[in-house]
A and B are shown apart, each in its own frame.
Chain A
Amino acid sequence: MSAEDIPKDYSESPINLEYFYTAGSATTRFLNQVKEGNIVGQGCPKCKAVYVPPRGSCPRCGVATDIEVPLTDKGCIESFTVVHIPIPGNPIVPPYVCAMIRLDGANISFLHLIQDVDIENIRIGMRIQAVWKPKEEWTHSLENIKWFAPIDEPDVDVATLRFHES
């Protein structure tokens, strides 16, 4: 029997599962600070790497990141992509920019939006700062930051941000 002879029959096979998720210790500490408009990374007691957002461990060393490291909401773009295709259910109208944001003092980056910028001008190393929602809308979520926007500071050479074993 060739593939063409096989009836093209499909069964709908929907899956849905409901969870009641608990954040765990590290994420709870982080998000409680985000609720107050603070970004507090967590540092490794061995190699001193700083994680934002923290997951509770340093995967380099396999130990708990129990040092709280307050950071500012400024950083630079470590990489970015311009999204041209609308994603079903996503309210943001293309084209828009998703970037890996490296906050000053952090050793990892996280994904967020860049706005208030000409897409042609966006570049790796560009200095950016968080644009926060109004305080009364703050919750336990990084969505308290609407997006990041460029600031008038000289670009950073991202090669200098690479982690060096201390």
Chain B
Amino acid sequence: MKRVAIVGYAQHPILKNAGALNEVELIMPVVHQLFNDLGISQKDIDFTCSGSCDYLQGAAFAFVEGLSAIQTNPPIKESHVEMDAAWAMYESMLKIQMGDAETALIYGFGKSSPGDLDAIISLQMDPYYISPLWPDRVSLAALQARVLLDQNVITSEQMLASVIEARANSKNNKNALITDLIDESDYLKNAMVSSPLNQLDCPPISDGSSAMIIASEEKAYEFTDHPIWIEGIDHRIESSNLGSRNLATSKTLQASMDQLNLKNIKFDVAELHTQFSHELPFLKSLLNLQDVPTNLSGGPLVGNVMMCAGLDAIGKTYESLKNNQFTHGLAHATSGPCLQHNMLVHLEAQK
């Protein structure tokens, strides 16, 4: 494996409704900020890869429009994933491993405000057995929450703690959408959306964009004195047959942990793409992170830009390692209902 590092990350302030900005207008500032921070331009980038969802915009090939945000003349090598931009980062990583690129720009963008996110997400599921029932994303997450509660994998107190902690941690995140603190009584009087999940257990509808630059070892030090190394990256998906999955655990995450040999690593920090309150204690226990500061950015509960939030978990872990005296960080990205598809990224700062 070639060594590859994250050399920069930028995030647009997360907005409730970015109506004043179209997608291109959302992407441009973060890409420009990254280029300015590193003193580089698109000419220094060998490969560009984006992550977005055309259904969010309601237009076929909407992702192509996103390319207007970056300099594409002379023509560039680029690609796109109809997924969270964490997977655009994975594709870029492969591109560098194959020797086709030394540097890559990754960006993700998503506006959930114009459409009905619940309806859009249900259309991304099995079109024969699941989509015709129009299950919303909260109800699907709630199915897993109930299983975890029933089997005592997590407790409702932990769900409450996730929500209170996310709000408290939002002070560390200048781009957070939700920053007001809440207490137990606020939580308990909140109406259920789809029991056992209430409004506060769910992430806010969010608009935004993020960008990241990764580079091979040779290039990384040209861009920055503080590269953060991608020591391991692995992603796996479970069956799309929701009813055949064991929702009380995650076979894929366990397999990824083994693959990345995470058992003996003492993580200093973790950022998990946990969109619902029950997912944080569940993944913390599954990933042995009980004593590790997790989601210091507040995580998706204080801002959850679709198609970016996974990349943001990686970006926030990068920032934590860079800005503190931390060595090991773990980032997680997810996609699909009930944590169907998961990516783990092990980041390490130079000692």
A and B touch in the complex (CB under 8 A): yes
- Chain A residues within 8 Å of B, Cβ to Cβ: 11, 13, 15, 17-28, 55-64
User: In the complex, which residue of chain B has the Cβ closest to the Cβ of A46?
Assistant: B71
User: In the complex, which residue of chain B has the Cβ closest to the Cβ of A12?
Assistant: B132
B22-A60 in contact (CB<8A): no
Proximity bits, B45-85, A CB within 8 Å = 1, else 0: 00000000001001000000101111111000000000000
Q: Which residues of chain B come closer than 8 Å to A17, judged between CB atoms? A: 55, 58, 115-116, 119-120, 123
Asked whether any CB of chain A lies closer than 8 Å to the CB of B1, the reply is no
A55-B22 in contact (CB<8A): yes
A140 to chain B, nearest CB (A): 15
Task: Kindly state the separation between the CA atoms of A23 and B17 in the bound complex, as whole angstroms.
Answer: 12
Q: Which residues of chain A come closer than 8 Å to B70, judged between CB atoms? A: 59, 62
Of B17, B22, B116, the contact of A26 (CB 8 Å cutoff): B22
Asked whether any CB of chain A lies closer than 8 Å to the CB of B184, the reply is no
B120-A24 in contact (CB<8A): no
Task: Kindly state the separation between the CA atoms of A28 and B20 in the bound complex, as whole angstroms.
Answer: 9
B73-A23 in contact (CB<8A): no
Question: Given A17-B119, A17-B123, A62-B31, do A27 and B22 touch, yes or no (CB 8 Å)?
Answer: yes
Task: Kindly state the separation between the CA atoms of A38 and B53 in the bound complex, as whole angstroms.
Answer: 34
Task: Kindly state the separation between the CA atoms of A28 and B113 in the bound complex, as whole angstroms.
Answer: 17
B224 to chain A, nearest CB (A): 21
Task: Kindly state the separation between the CA atoms of A134 and B70 in the bound complex, as whole angstroms.
Answer: 40
Closest 3 CB pairs of A and B: A24-B22, A22-B19, A62-B71
A57-B119 in contact (CB<8A): no
A56-B25 in contact (CB<8A): yes
A18-B72 in contact (CB<8A): no
B116-A18 in contact (CB<8A): yes
Q: Which residues of chain B come closer than 8 Å to A28, judged between CB atoms? A: 20
A-B contacts, 15 listed (Cβ < 8 Å): A11-B128, A11-B132, A13-B127, A13-B131, A19-B114, A23-B22, A25-B21, A26-B22, A26-B25, A55-B22, A56-B24, A57-B28, A60-B72, A63-B32, A64-B28
A156 to chain B, nearest CB (A): 24
Question: Given A11-B128, A13-B127, do A62 and B22 touch, yes or no (CB 8 Å)?
Answer: no
Asked whether any CB of chain A lies closer than 8 Å to the CB of B175, the reply is no
B344 to chain A, nearest CB (A): 32
Q: Which residues of chain B come closer than 8 Å to A18, judged between CB atoms? A: 115-116, 119
B21-A62 in contact (CB<8A): no
Q: Which residues of chain A come closer than 8 Å to B65, judged between CB atoms? A: 55
Of A13, A19, A23, A63, the contact of B58 (CB 8 Å cutoff): A19
Asked whether any CB of chain A lies closer than 8 Å to the CB of B42, the reply is yes
Q: Which residues of chain B come closer than 8 Å to A58, judged between CB atoms? A: 68
Task: Kindly state the separation between the CA atoms of A32 and B116 in the bound complex, as whole angstroms.
Answer: 27
B179 to chain A, nearest CB (A): 24
List B212-227 residues whose CB lies under 8 Å from chain A. none
Of A11, A21, A27, A60, the contact of B71 (CB 8 Å cutoff): A60
List B12-32 residues whose CB lies under 8 Å from chain A. 17, 19-25, 28, 31-32
A12 to chain B, nearest CB (A): 9
B194 to chain A, nearest CB (A): 20
Q: Which residues of chain A come closer than 8 Å to B123, judged between CB atoms? A: 15, 17
B26 to chain A, nearest CB (A): 9
Task: Kindly state the separation between the CA atoms of A18 and B28 in the bound complex, as whole angstroms.
Answer: 27
A64-B25 in contact (CB<8A): yes
Task: Kindly state the separation between the CA atoms of A133 and B114 in the bound complex, as whole angstroms.
Answer: 30
Q: Which residues of chain A come closer than 8 Å to B73, judged between CB atoms? A: 59-61
Task: Kindly state the separation between the CA atoms of A18 and B123 in the bound complex, as whole angstroms.
Answer: 13
B335 to chain A, nearest CB (A): 20
Of A57, A61, A62, the contact of B25 (CB 8 Å cutoff): A57
User: In the complex, which residue of chain A has the Cβ closest to the Cβ of B115?
Assistant: A19
Task: Kindly state the separation between the CA atoms of A55 and B17 in the bound complex, as whole angstroms.
Answer: 19
Task: Kindly state the separation between the CA atoms of A15 and B67 in the bound complex, as whole angstroms.
Answer: 27
A45 to chain B, nearest CB (A): 13
Q: Which residues of chain A come closer than 8 Å to B20, judged between CB atoms? A: 22, 24-25, 28
Q: Which residues of chain B come closer than 8 Å to A60, judged between CB atoms? A: 71-73
Question: Given A13-B127, A24-B25, A27-B22, do A59 and B72 touch, yes or no (CB 8 Å)?
Answer: yes
A70 to chain B, nearest CB (A): 22
A100 to chain B, nearest CB (A): 18
Task: Kindly state the separation between the CA atoms of A20 and B57 in the bound complex, as whole angstroms.
Answer: 10
Task: Kindly state the separation between the CA atoms of A17 and B42 in the bound complex, as whole angstroms.
Answer: 36
Task: Kindly state the separation between the CA atoms of A21 and B116 in the bound complex, as whole angstroms.
Answer: 11
Q: Which residues of chain B come closer than 8 Å to A22, judged between CB atoms? A: 17, 19-20, 22, 113-114
